[in-house]
Structure formats: C-alpha cells, structure tokens
Chain A
Amino acid sequence: MTTTGTTESAAPGQPRQGPAVARSRPGRAFLPWLGGASRGASLTRMVGSLALLVVVWHLAAVHLVDNRLLLVPPAEVALALREEVAGGDFGRHSATTVLELAIAFPIAVVGGIAIGALLAGSTPVRQTLDPILTALYSLPVVALAPLFTAGLGLGVTSKVAIVILMAIFPVITNTDAGLRSADPALVETARAFRADRWQVLATVTLPHSLPFVISGVRVAFARALVGVIVAEFFGSVSGYGFAIAAAAQSYQTARLLGYVVVLGLIGLLASIGMSALERRLAPWKEH
C-alpha cells in the first residue's frame, strides 16, 4: 500500500515523456471543470476536501499528537463506529437524537416564523418584545440545560425544550428583518397597479423575505445541533450527547470521535439540503 503510494507520487517529478504529455491534456480541461458550477464538480470538490481532511487527520494522529486520549487515526474511529453500529448502540442513540430534533426543529421554525411575522406586523408588539428577545438571543441558552433536565426529566421533553429555545431566535429575527426590509419602491409599484394589502404581502413582502427566512433556518439548525448534544450531556439515557459523554468518561476516544464525525456529517448534509432548498425556492438569487 505504502509503496504504491510512493511510486505514484514520484511520477510527476520524472522527466516528461510521451504518455505524460498526453495525460496532461485532459488535466488542463479538468481544472476549469473542477472550478465550475456543475453538480458533478461540486460533488467532486466536496469529496476531495473531505479526503484531504482525513489525510491531515491521519498524519496528525500518527506523527503529531502522541496523546491517544486526544486523537486517534481515522481508521480506528471507523472501526469503533462499525462496532457501535453492529452492537445496536448507534441505532438506539440515533433514534433518540433524531426524534428530539424531529419534534423540536419544526416547532422552532414554524413558531419562529409566526413570532417574526407578528413582530414585523405590529410596531407596538415589536417595541415591547424586542428587548426581551435580544436578551434571550444573546443568552447562552445551554446554561439553562441543567434546569430543564431537573424540571422536565432525563427524557426527550427537556431536550426538545432546549432545542426550541436554541433554534427559534435566528428564525424570529430573520423573518422579522425580511418582512420589514421590502423595497418601498416595489411596494409603491404594486400600489400603482392597484394592489391591495394582501396582494402587496403576497407578491412583494413574502417573496422578498423568503431568502431571509431560509438563512435563519440554516443558522437555527446549527444551533439546534449544539443544543441537543449539550442537553444530552447534562442528563439523558440515550442520544449522541449521551454516547459522547459516556465514551469520554471511559476514555474511549475512538468511539467518542466516531459520534463527532457523525454529527459533522449531519451538519454537512443539512447544509447541502438547505442550499438545495434555497435554489429551489429562490431561483432568482445568484448562487
């Protein structure tokens, strides 16, 4: 394995001969393609950068970090993760965390949009709630996690509460901002064509606010992921956060990192999904 790697990496350094020149021709076309916007190119870029991460991780674990409690090579992590899957623990933890997110995240999104719309629609409501919301948004909500665990128990409910509190604020503020920032010139144009209030809302204000809401949802998911893990740290019987905390207490670094990798993949997939949603719902934007 190692020897083939060395031979391959040495090849470009050798003097250029017939076949090497022939090979470089498609290479010239490949680079612009890779920099392009096609779906295949962006998929290739992603696989490439993930592969780079794994290589750097491997090199760091083998040559740089001696402390095996801190870092182990990716191959060991993959092995540990396979054992988790085979033993059924991975499925059990996944079910819990996914269930918590599946309940809490839609509530946060729908509730955030509703509250944001309320704020945008009524100046007195916004003036009253704005300071409260700002204070709550800047508050590290995870600080309340022990309280929720004590009050709502070790089960799903306390996690749902934390995730909603973590995720709802970016949706509220972005919805409010999006609904209030529609171009007054477009509103005047609609009125000149005799649009009534609802037509202005449907044809100007809502389409304008859509990209704002989507980017709020994107931020909200990242916060939801943090919220659910931290909430599980503070008291739970299953879930990724529970598994990570348990692995840490028994010094099983490979197992711990396995779940971290899974969380990273979930974040990545969510981000890709959100971009696809944005392209579909807001095709007029430049992506």
Chain B
Amino acid sequence: MTSTGTSQGRITVEGVGLTFTPARRDPVVALRDVDLAVEPGEFVCVVGASGSGKSTLLRLLSGLIPATSGRITRSGEVVDGPSRESAMVFQSDNLLPWRTVLDNAAYGLRLAGVPRAEARALATERLELVGLGHALDRYPRQLSGGMRQRVNIARALAVDPQVMLLDEPFAALDAQTREIMSAELLRIWSADRKTVVFVTHQIDEAVYLADRVVVLSAHPGTVREVVPVPFGRPRDLHLKRTPEFGRLVDHIWSLIEDEVRSSLVR
C-alpha cells in the first residue's frame, strides 16, 4: 500500500518524535509519537498552541531536520533529506534580494539544473498564475508583503512538487490581504490538487482551507485530534460567515484554548 503508483504525494508519519538537547540544558521533547497520514491531493492544515511543534513537524516532513524516532515516508519513500518531491513555503518570504521576481521564482528550477531559458519560462507561467506577470523585472524590495509572498508561492509551485509544505505563509500579512491570499491559494490548489500541509495559528484560516485539520497539543507536541472539515468545494469567503463554520472553529479552539492560555503565562 505504501509503495504503489497511487502513493504519489502520499505522506505517512509513524510514531515520529524529535528530542533535542540545548547546550548545558535538559533535553527538550519537541514532538512525541506523532502518527499521521496525508492522502495524495489532500489539503491538511496543522494548528496548535505555540510550542506544539507545528513548524518543527513541517521541517521534519520536508527533510530539513531528521526525526530522532519513528519514520516519515513521502510518495512511498522514506524521507532522509530535502527532496524535489516537496517544496517549502516559509513564513518569511525568504526571497533573494539580489534576484528579480522572475529569477527568484526560477530559483528552485535553476538549483535543480534546469537551463535558464526553460526555468524562466516555467517561472513566468507560475508568476502569472499568482497574478505577478507584470512585475517580473522588479526586485523584492520594490514589492509589498503580499506580492513577496506570492513570489514565494510561485517559486515553490515552479518546481512542480508532489507535496507543498507551507509554514504560516500569510502570518505576516494584514487581515484583508490574508483573506484574499487564502482564497487564491485554494484556486491555485484546485487546479492541480497537489498534496498540501499548511501550518497556521489562525483556526478560521485552517477550517476554510483544509479537508482535515490536525490539532496538536503542546509539551510534548503530539496529535490531539484530527478534525474532518465537511464543507464542499469550491469554497468562497462567504463560508466563513455561516453558523456551521463558526461551530467547527469553536470546537477546535476548545481543544487548544487551555494550552494557549497557559502558554501566555508560562
């Protein structure tokens, strides 16, 4: 089941833990016994109080850091480092200041050895998809936060990964821009349905975007509950103002409220 052709884009996490030991301090258990399966083409959001290891889990999935126990597979293969199968979108846009919008979006392709002209053509397509076809020659410092984050997403899309990993990509944006960006992300995702794991601290954002919401509890970080989101697609922003939507957000909030409160006074 794990290594068949239909496993393209499937992610499995089995008994994964991560313990690290800061210099001259006691070991810290960041994640313990995390079990999770993400189906190909599924949109999964991860929420949890700060300290629940949301971003750490994403870095494990990307292969940027190794787990200290358990096993993670991606498309049926064990994750042992960054792969071209998955692309990461970081919270800060992390664009290269010395590259234009076009060459930033082509960055992943160029690193993979794609010739410049071909990489630029592919990157241009993705930039047009995120609405930046007019800004190819600008430098990042000339862009607004929302535009920079679009370039960041286009850069990840350009390498055509099976899996997109997004780490609070809209956290630094203002509320209105964030609404628009999440609606656009859904539009882009629905076009080719890559597997998406999206970390956020905005519960309403998670419910609006996801097929399932993974709720992490903190200290140590582990899966508290996986909440299915029953709303059909395509979804528009009106969904956020329905009572069913509010009830689901309230339920998830009740799962993590105590931890968020205690994390404020720790």
Contacts and interface: CB of A to CB of B under 8 A. Distances in A.
Contact of B111 (A183, A194, A284): A194
A195 B81 CA distance: 11
A185 B94 contact: yes
Contacts of A192: 62, 64, 82, 87-88, 90
B98 A194 contact: no
Contacts of B140: 284
B84 interface: yes
A76 B97 CA distance: 51
B87 A193 contact: yes
Contacts of B108: 193
B83 interface: yes
Interface stretch (A45-53, A140-148, A199-207): A199-207
B177 to A, nearest CB: 21
A188 B55 CA distance: 14
A189 B90 contact: yes
A286 interface: yes
A64 to B, nearest CB: 47
Counting chain B CB atoms within 10 Å of each CB, the highest count among A204, A282, A284 belongs to: A284
Given A186-B96, A188-B64, A189-B94, A203 B107 contact: yes
B16 interface: no
B191 interface: no
Nearest to B140: A284
A190 interface: yes
Contacts of A204: 96
B151 interface: no
A185 B92 contact: yes
A207 B96 contact: yes
Interface of B: 62, 64, 81-84, 87-88, 90, 92, 94, 96-99, 107-108, 110-112, 139-141, 159
Interface of A: 183, 185-186, 188-195, 199, 203-204, 207-208, 210, 282-284, 286
Q: Which 7 A-B pairs have the closest CB atoms?
A: A192-B88, A189-B94, A193-B108, A207-B98, A284-B98, A284-B139, A194-B82
22 contacts: A185-B90, A185-B94, A186-B96, A189-B88, A191-B82, A192-B62, A192-B64, A193-B82, A193-B87, A193-B88, A193-B108, A194-B83, A194-B84, A195-B111, A203-B107, A203-B111, A208-B98, A210-B98, A284-B98, A284-B140, A284-B141, A286-B141
